[in-house]
Copies of this chain bind each other. A is one copy, B any other.
């Protein structure tokens, strides 16, 4: 069957596809909070059953000690490249619950948008990839390339056991390249191809200034207050302009190349609208554009801070403990271990010596990622997107982190093309996350065409092209 007929079939089955996506979204597969074991199990079972039904083989959970990944394969094209398809079935916690217009795990369509936790990040884009494979197998009986599907269960909790999964199950994951359903588009107006993303390092910092919370009348004015000390520590992390004030945490100069800045400038970006859309306040390192601040420079953020009485009304205590969750988004050239170490050294240096300080790693750090623009996956994506939109795709970098990209490159030698169909305004990680139904159609067509195009190469050709592209990058 011709590719066009396969695409038409998919586009005609959108109601079925939305129904299946909604079933998937109803499962509260929150990996970061141990309160959701059922949601995680339900999502695994849902995927295993469906992948088996599709006709894939080796369908199984890959265990690494944490939440397992879902795996499946199709090996029917021995001379063709083998493509690993990545997605994740876990989602962020839904809180604050009272800010959702419709409940986070009851998918609801309003104005062509499907609202639910995980709709955009990344169950919607994952369903697109799986349906492309399903359609080839059902209508044509085979795929243009060999397929390995790998759906992670801990992406939102920092991929804590991903490394161990890869270590244990490496041979199952051997491939010529990976296409990720995560890592979305940057604009609905023109095509982009992600050629990099920032890494992430996360820690939690806790301080203690007394054995217990103390009465502020009986002790106030004579004793340390953990909230004051934490505020001083946090205030020391940045300069006035928002730039990171910890020299050891910055990449070695010259950290940003002329080429990277020129490439970044090609992306048409409205600084004022970007800030205004979220009611935010622009605030960042002097000398860099917002896009550069977001993609070429590291960022250090407090993700949460707490200490003392935070309930209704008043309680005049002197907090004895205070806590902060901190994350660093790293850029290519930065080693996560070194970044984490520089941050910890700074925290220990600014914390008064008589204050107890404890620092815990929240997740395994992930390295920033760089994809060669001459890689056959990039060339195929460029062709698909050019034809679909009539525009030349712009190469862009993501500010956020897709830990698997750097890890698979390091551990399996596999490069990742991010080919997700989420859009940046879809409130991922926040209340009222949504996915545009229109993106489903665009994604189904693009994924089918992309797999077909890659299948025009033999495995040998594909590998030679990939090697050449990588050499050009270095």
Residues on A close to B: CB < 8 A?
A: 32-34, 92-93, 95, 99, 157-158, 197-198, 200, 202, 204, 209-225, 227-228, 230-235, 237-238, 242, 274-275, 278-285, 290, 293-294, 297-320, 322-325, 327, 329, 352, 354-355, 362-363, 398-401, 424, 427-431
Partner of A301 from the list B211, B293, B316 (CB cut-off 8 Å) is B316
Q: Can you report 20 residue pairs joining A to B where beta carbons are below 8 Å apart?
A: A32-B313, A33-B312, A95-B311, A200-B217, A202-B314, A217-B400, A218-B400, A219-B280, A220-B327, A220-B329, A223-B283, A223-B284, A225-B301, A228-B302, A281-B352, A281-B354, A301-B316, A303-B316, A304-B308, A305-B306
Q: Is the beta-carbon distance between A221 and B304 smaller than 8 angstroms?
A: no
| A302 in contact with B319 given A215-B400, A217-B200, A401-B217 (CB within 8 Å) | yes
Q: Quick one: which of B223, B300, B319, B400 contacts A303, CB cutoff 8 A?
A: B319
A428–B399 Cα distance when bound, in Å, is: 48
Complex interface: chain B residues within 8 A of A324 (CB): 227
Residue of B nearest to A233 (CB): B231
Copies in the complex: 2
Q: Name the distance in Å between A61's Cβ and chain B's nearest Cβ.
A: 21
Q: Are B323 and A310 neighbours in the complex by a CB distance under 8 Å?
A: yes
Q: Which of B34, B280, B317, B400 contacts A210 (CB 8 A)?
A: B280
Residues of B within 8 A of A230 (CB): 231, 305
State the CA gap A226–B224 with chains docked (Å).
24
Chain B residues within an 8 Å CB radius of A278: 210-212, 214, 219, 223
B residues near A242, Cβ cutoff 8 Å? 221, 224, 228
- Taking a contact as CB atoms under 8 Å apart, the answer to whether A427 and B317 are in contact is no
Set B197, B213, B297: member contacting A430, Cβ < 8 A: B213
- The verdict on A198 contacting B217 (CB below 8 Å), with A224-B283, A282-B222, A305-B230 known, is yes
A305/B399 in contact, CB under 8 A: no
User: What's the minimum C-beta distance from A361 to chain B, rounded to whole angstroms?
Assistant: 10
- Interchain CA distance A158-B238 in the complex, whole Å: 37
